[in-house]
Amino acid sequence: MSHALFKPGAAPTSPLPVPKESVREGRKNQLYNEIRDTRRNVEINVGKACNNRCVFCIDGLPKREDRSYMPYEEMRRELAFWYESGTRSVGFLGGEPTTYPKIVDSVAYAKELGFTRIAIATNAVKLRLPHFTDAIVEAGLTRATISMHGHTPALEDEITRVPKVFAKKVEALRLLVDKRDQGLLKDGLSVNPVINGLNYKYMPQILRFFFDEIGLDDVRFNFMRPEGYSEGNPELSPRFKQAVPYLVKCIILMEKHWTNKTFTFGGWPLCTLPPSLRDSEVLLKKYMGEYRDLSTDCSVRQDGEVFGIEEVGDGRARFNWQDRKRFDLKHAPDACKECTKVALCEGVWKGYIDIWGDSEIKAI
């Protein structure tokens, strides 16, 4: 990482104290929300190889060793480690976890251990193959979150830089919707478009496509994190003030038309949102993803250089995701020190500050 704000050893800028307890003990760092799933969650990164090349990918072009997959014995050890620490939800991610040769075995082993929520974060390309989708669901998968960022072939193919990928993802989504409708995937099926410079103007159309044409009932818009391929690129990273009007339109549509569906957003500093939204606890609990996310730890291959709050053991870097964002990946400009929302708001992606500065950030 070459951002000015990613200097080795740089102190966190958040006004809140850095937590001292180990990730093994779990964090109590989330706000109360009646509708949150309270299971502790761990996301295990299987390796950074991927069959898409999304323009905003935070991994960019991973180092050769990072593209190699996690040995299966290490996966089994890691699953046991987290299960013993009290975690009951696990998510597999990459890179692209469906290309991991042992992914079905890993899901099956997680189920055997006793994990009750077993999820995968995937671009879904491989899930268009019925034999593969059948196998992973039968092994115990209970949730899939799909990385898809456009509502048209032209947009999706441009963002992923893979020709004809839109049609493959739509095929996969139809198979998965069918599984969900059979009562499988009991923890849900969602799509998580990353909001970037190419798609932000189409947010309402993207929502309509996934709800009305595909039949999904859960969509999450995450504001992009300008790192990797998109580092320093103002064309790929819209300003908050450009994207917020489209976000607001989505919320109005939700309140009027899709009242039985779930829509959340993530990564928006609260002060960039209109007062009618940021000052409403009811609306924030309903639409702000950070209010609803599971308490999540992460396990990633450790490459020798310890970064920020992570703990290192067994060749893995382990850290709490909510803390990682607040203390290592986001920046709290001076305005945050005076802000009444600082316990709720994580600040701003450092990569965003590098591109656009902090002039939009104002204490509330």
Query: Which residues sit at the interface with ligand SF4, rule CB under 6 A?
Result: 269-271, 332, 335-336, 339, 341-342, 345, 347-348, 361, 363-364
By the 8 A CB rule, do 191 and 210 touch?
Answer: yes
Half-sphere exposure of 262 (CA within 13 A, CB side): 19
Q: Which is nearer to ligand SF4, 297 or 346 (CB)?
A: 346
* Nearer to ligand SF4 among residue 218 and residue 323 (C-beta): 323
Going from the C-alpha of 144 to that of each of 87, 195, 218, 256, 281, the distances in angstroms are: 19, 19, 11, 27, 28
Q: How far is the CB of 335 from ligand SF4 (least distance, A)?
A: 4
Ramachandran sector of residue 13 (left: φ over 0; alpha: ψ -120 to 50; beta: rest)? alpha
Q: Quick check: 260 and 348 in contact, CB under 8 A?
A: no
Nearer to ligand SF4, 56 or 268 (CB): 268
Closest distance between ligand SF4 and the C-beta of residue 358, in Å?
8
Instruction: Give ∠ CA 156-54-344 in degrees, rounded to 5.
Output: 100
Alpha carbon 245 to its chain's center: 22
What phi and psi, each to the nearest 5 degrees, are found at residue 334?
-55, -35
- Dihedral sign of CA atoms 206, 209, 211, 217 in order: negative
Supply the minimum distance, in Å, between the C-beta of residue 238 and ligand SF4.
17
Task: Considering the complex, state which of residue 47 and residue 347 has its C-beta at the smaller distance from ligand SF4.
Answer: 347
CA distance 305 to 328: 14
Q: Which is nearer to ligand SF4, 115 or 349 (CB)?
A: 349
* Smallest gap from residue 159 Cβ to ligand SF4 (A): 27
CA atoms within 13 A on the CB side of 72: 11
CB of residue 235 vs ligand SF4: minimum separation in angstroms? 24
Q: Which is nearer to ligand SF4, 312 or 343 (CB)?
A: 343
Q: 240 or 263: whose CB is closer to ligand SF4?
A: 240
CB of 242 to ligand SF4, least distance (A): 17
Query: How near is the Cβ of 155 to ligand SF4 at its closest, in Å?
Result: 29
What's the rounded Cα separation, in Å, for the pair 16 and 7? Answer: 20
